[in-house]
Amino acid sequence: MSIEFDTRAAAYGVVIRDEEILLAYWKENGKEGWTLPGGGLDLGEHPVDGCRREIQEETGYDAEIGIMLGADVGHWRGEDRFDGLDRDFQAFRLIYEANIIGGELAHEIGGSTTHAAWIPLHTVPTLNRVSLVDVGLRLHRERPLNGKLAAT
């Protein structure tokens, strides 16, 4: 049996420097929490370009997009969707390593995030955060280094 559902591709960046991670605060329709900077791809947009664009929109920073760390799937039932449609929704999320190469911290205006911040890595477990943050950090810890997996 096959059910109908909507899918949207998205791209996110794991940006870590000096034992801090760059996160954006997501707030939409009564739900909120820290998330990786990134989001849905525009029609026909390459995931690397979309990741770069989303990081800039949500944080004010220009980013260089590195290796793809992995992929994740988010699923929301039709009755839980924010847009009022009743079909299930699936987000196919590509997660990249990224580095800041310019710009300065700024808050998104008119988007789904309210602000961005550098968060000390050791405090992440105490944050109100979406599961994508944990997925991104796990993938970052496990990324290949010179053909070997990084120490976890």
Name residue, tokens 């602000």: 115
**Looking at residue 57, what is its pLDDT?**
96
Per-10-residue mean pLDDT of the chain, 152 residues long, equals 80 97 90 95 96 97 97 77 70 96 93 94 97 96 65 43
Name residue, tokens 């990081």: 55
Q: Kindly tell me the burial class for residue 34, based on how many C-beta atoms sit within 10 Å of its own C-beta (0-12, 13-18, 19 or more).
A: buried
**Looking at residue 99, what is its pLDDT?**
97
Concatenating the DSSP letter of every residue in 107-131 gives --SSSSEEEEEEEEGGGGGGS-B-H
pTM (2 d.p.): 0.87
**Looking at residue 151, what is its pLDDT?**
46
**Looking at residue 146, what is its pLDDT?**
53
